[in-house]
Structure 1
Amino acid sequence: MTDLLEELEWRGMVAASTDREALAAHLAQGPVTFYVGFDPTAASLHIGHLVQLMLVRALQERGHHPLLLVGGATGLIGDPKMTGERKMNDERVVAGWVESIKEQVGRYVDLDGPNPARIVNNYDWTSRYNAVEFLRDVGKYFSVNRMLARDVVARRLDSGISYTEFSYVLLQSLDYAELHKQYGCTLQTGAQDQWGNITAGAEFIRRTSGDVVHGLVTPLLTKADGTKYGKTESGTVWVDPDLTSAYAFHQFFLNAEDSKVIDYLKIFSPRSHEEIDELDRQTREEPWRRAAQHALADDITDLVHGSDQRRAAVEAGKALFGRGELADLDVTTVGAVANEIGAISIEGAEMPTVPEAMAMAGVVESKSAGRRAVAEGGAYLNNIKVTDAERRLEPADFLQGRLALLRRGKKTVGGLTPLRSASGPAR
């Protein structure tokens, strides 16, 4: 077995750590109890959180003990953002998000094995403090000068930062200290933007107990141009299938850039060094095959949505361009395809002709262009070539009652959905 820290570094999962040699020795002595926190600022985790969960899995597989903290207290405050103050969410809303996030993080770890993960909520200890106790027991150990020097705080000084967000670092430091006291936690992990909070917590523990603890942060997930990875035109890529379907999730990773796909594979895929090296070679020498993208999309969709949903997503992708059977797609996948291609709702009492439908769906520029496509043999309805320009859509043309797929040639696709009444059923 390779050294754990070396393995994590090879996989690109270490942006920084406290004393590396001390941390490596500490992990080698093991087992180590470590924690990572997730603030419930939404109802679902997104793919940025998956980096942390992959790190948790790697550590747990080597025998270490995970604590997954869901921030019922810190989620009410919010870690400062570079762009401005966070919205203060209602306590009942946050409590609901806590339960949702607890259920989600539990899917990615072993809760029952020889070194089971434990899910904890920082509201359990934070709520016991009153203001005076918190200032005396925690605030006393933090220098305002050092807090002002934190990157996010320094950047927000001109535009303004509330005392609430300014003091967030105290809450997270208290979390580390409490978990150290209760469970013997000696390592905190997180994303690179948590480095200041993590080192502050380690310093707080040293000053209050004399104990030395450790920190490790992962790089932020970025595209080749340095911008954040995990956004689409429709928004964030969530792990909740109700927010991001398996089909949309799979398609997102199929579109990974050649220059970054191997980096993502190292993080999200369990494949060996040899397998990833071979995919790296194929990406460089045969980029048109997109072998690494297919491996990445399959592996991470298996992880998040399961192999059955991944297979359905793959079949949907084939069927969309005439290489699979549309009739075999289930209603959920058909709905996901409709959302992904931006299908347009039909309005009006009369069904359109195929050329009209193609224009409505944005597959061609106009009805006359649609008629030319039919005449030239390049118009398809649900992957069936249309030869009659007067052919009108019928209710039976809507797959699962939800989508009529229009295609011009091999690659230009669009769709129509039947307009639904307020009560729900299609007209």
Structure 2
Amino acid sequence: MFIMKIYDELVARGLIAQVTNEKEIKEIINSGNATFYIGFDPTADSLHVGHFMALCLMKRLQMAGNKPVVLLGGGTGYIGDPSGRTDLRSMMSPEIIQQNCNCFKQQMERFIEFGEDKAIMVNNADWLLELDYIELLRDVGHCFSVNNMLRAECYKQRKEKGLSFLEFNYMIMQSYDFYHLYRNYGCNMQFGGDDQWSNMLAGTELIRRKLGEDAYAMTITLLMNSAGNKMGKTAKGAVWLDPNKTSPLEFFQYWRNIGDADVLKCIRMLTFLPLEQIDAMDEWKGRQLNEAKKILAYELTKLVHGEEEARKAAL
């Protein structure tokens, strides 16, 4: 019986957008030798659907024997990621940043298995807030080309309205995170949303220039609907993972009511149903697509809120 390797499964589920070195990445994660990180900036007091996709990727890779490093952005949260933004993010107080980090931590423990020889959680405030500015400039400043930074996709939209020097530093901070995690935790890969690509490349380049070592980056396909808009938004705002902000019933109904053109893609990308089962749904139409939406809503509500809440929401 043919057993699909994890990298091929990620491809088949449509999860991979860009990779730096496909052959090497494929070999490392298929053999369970990746120590990889995904960063989560604490921009709110709950994770949302966009984060959920990254957590699912983490879970898949952990199940294949790889070691996740969850990076809470307690330090980068002081700056704010300009990627995909047309305006400056609101500045948060240190107290709000810490409170949001605590909320993220509690929610993540539902998805990822933490513990000795399992996943670890770190907070970049522990090293970024201790950096000396002049020392940092002397240490890594020469590794970054301003010309390359200005061409980066992550700054594109911000340049139209004016890119602040504060935001311009975000790439350096994210790159430094990768460099720090590589040196101190043996973290050889970074995964993230496709809008993070230029930041992630900068991190691999910093490691190469400072340490003469290879590190790798892979971006996840952004969760977009057939109209080209980011999914996980309603008239009320974001679809949150916190049941006090988006109830299990509202969460279920969001997925139950997505467009016909998006349902099978979402089942493939977000659920843990076997690919053979999903492939058999490819020819479904009409009422069958309605059934597929119920399956999607149930599976995702079960993952986020537990089986009992999924059953109640499905009634």
TM-score, normalised by the number of residues in structure 1: 0.71
Matches within 5 A, 1:227-242: 227-242=229-244
Query: Which residue identity does 1:298 align to in structure 2?
Result: Y
Question: Which SS does the other structure have where 1:290 is aligned?
Answer: helix
CA distance in structure 1 between the aligned counterparts of 2:279 and 2:224, rounded to whole angstroms: 21
Residues 23-50 of structure 1: per-residue CA shift (max 9 Å, x gap): 1122234321110000000001100111
2:290 — aligned with what? 290
**Pairs aligned (count):** 312
Question: Which SS does the other structure have where 2:121 is aligned?
Answer: strand
1:106 — aligned with what? 109
Say whether the 8 Å CA contact 1:258–1:287 is kept in structure 2. Answer: no
CA distance in structure 2 between the aligned counterparts of 1:204 and 1:46, rounded to whole angstroms: 30
Matches within 5 A, 1:7-406: 7-80=9-82, 81-112=84-115, 115-282=117-284, 284=285, 286-287=286-287, 290-315=290-315
RMSD: 1.4
Say whether the 8 Å CA contact 2:15–2:221 is kept in structure 1. Answer: yes
How far off is 1:194 after superposition? 0.7
Query: Which residue identity does 1:309 align to in structure 2?
Result: E
Structure 1 pair 186–289 and aligned structure 2 pair: CA distance change class (3 A): closer
**Rg (Cα) greater in structure:** 1
Unaligned runs of 5+ in 2: none
CA distance in structure 1 between the aligned counterparts of 2:29 and 2:90, rounded to whole angstroms: 39
CA distance in structure 2 between the aligned counterparts of 1:154 and 1:278, rounded to whole angstroms: 41
How far off is 1:158 after superposition? 3.8
Say whether the 8 Å CA contact 1:191–1:218 is kept in structure 2. Answer: yes
Query: Which residue identity does 1:300 align to in structure 2?
Result: L
CA distance in structure 1 between the aligned counterparts of 2:289 and 2:195, rounded to whole angstroms: 35
How far off is 1:228 after superposition? 1.0
CA distance in structure 2 between the aligned counterparts of 1:313 and 1:27, rounded to whole angstroms: 36
Residues 185-228 of structure 1: per-residue CA shift (max 9 Å, x gap): 10100010011111110000000001101111111111111011
How far off is 1:288 after superposition? 5.5
Which of structure 1's runs of 4+ aligned residues deviate more than 3 A? 286-289
Query: Which residue identity does 1:82 align to in structure 2?
Result: R
How far off is 1:129 after superposition? 0.8
Residues 347-395 of structure 1: per-residue CA shift (max 9 Å, x gap): xxxxxxxxxxxxxxxxxxxxxxxxxxxxxxxxxxxxxxxxxxxxxxxxx
CA distance in structure 2 between the aligned counterparts of 1:289 and 1:34, rounded to whole angstroms: 36
Residues 290-325 of structure 1: per-residue CA shift (max 9 Å, x gap): 12101100000000011111112122xxxxxxxxxx
Query: Which residue identity does 2:49 align to in structure 1?
Result: I
Query: Which residue identity does 1:133 align to in structure 2?
Result: E
CA distance in structure 1 between the aligned counterparts of 2:237 and 2:66, rounded to whole angstroms: 35
How far off is 1:251 after superposition? 0.3
CA distance in structure 1 between the aligned counterparts of 2:54 and 2:259, rounded to whole angstroms: 22
Question: Which SS does the other structure have where 2:213 is aligned?
Answer: coil
What fraction of aligned residue pairs are identical, expressed as a percent? 38
How far off is 1:236 after superposition? 0.5
Unaligned runs of 5+ in 1: 316-427
Kindly indicate whether structure 1 or structure 2 has the higher relative contact order, using CA contacts under 8 Å at least 6 residues apart. 2
Question: Which SS does the other structure have where 1:138 is aligned?
Answer: helix
CA distance in structure 2 between the aligned counterparts of 1:30 and 1:107, rounded to whole angstroms: 22
